Amino acid sequence: MAPKNNPLKLNPLQLRTLTILQGLASIPGTAVQEPNGEITIVQFPQPHGDHFHLGNAVVATKDTTGLFNEAVWNALARKGLARTDWPHRITLTIDGLQYNTGLAGEIFHASGH
Q: What is the pLDDT along the chain (113 residues), one digit of tens a residue?
A: 555 689 999 999 999 999 999 999 999 889 999 999 999 999 998 888 899 888 889 999 999 999 999 999 999 999 999 999 999 999 999 999 999 999 999 999 987 65
Burial code of 43-71, b = ≥16 C-beta within 10 A, e = fewer?
ebbeeeeebbebeebbbeeebbebbebee
Please calculate the CA angle 94-61-48 and round it to the nearest 5 degrees.
115
Comparing C-alpha atoms, which of 44, 33, 24, 22 is closest to residue 97? 22
On whether the pTM is more than 0.85, the answer is yes
The domain segmentation of the chain, as residue ranges, is 14-110
Pair 84, 92: CB distance under 8 Å: no
Q: Which CATH class is domain 14-110?
A: mainly alpha
Question: Which residue type occupies 80?
Answer: G
Decide: helix, strand or coil at residue 78.
helix
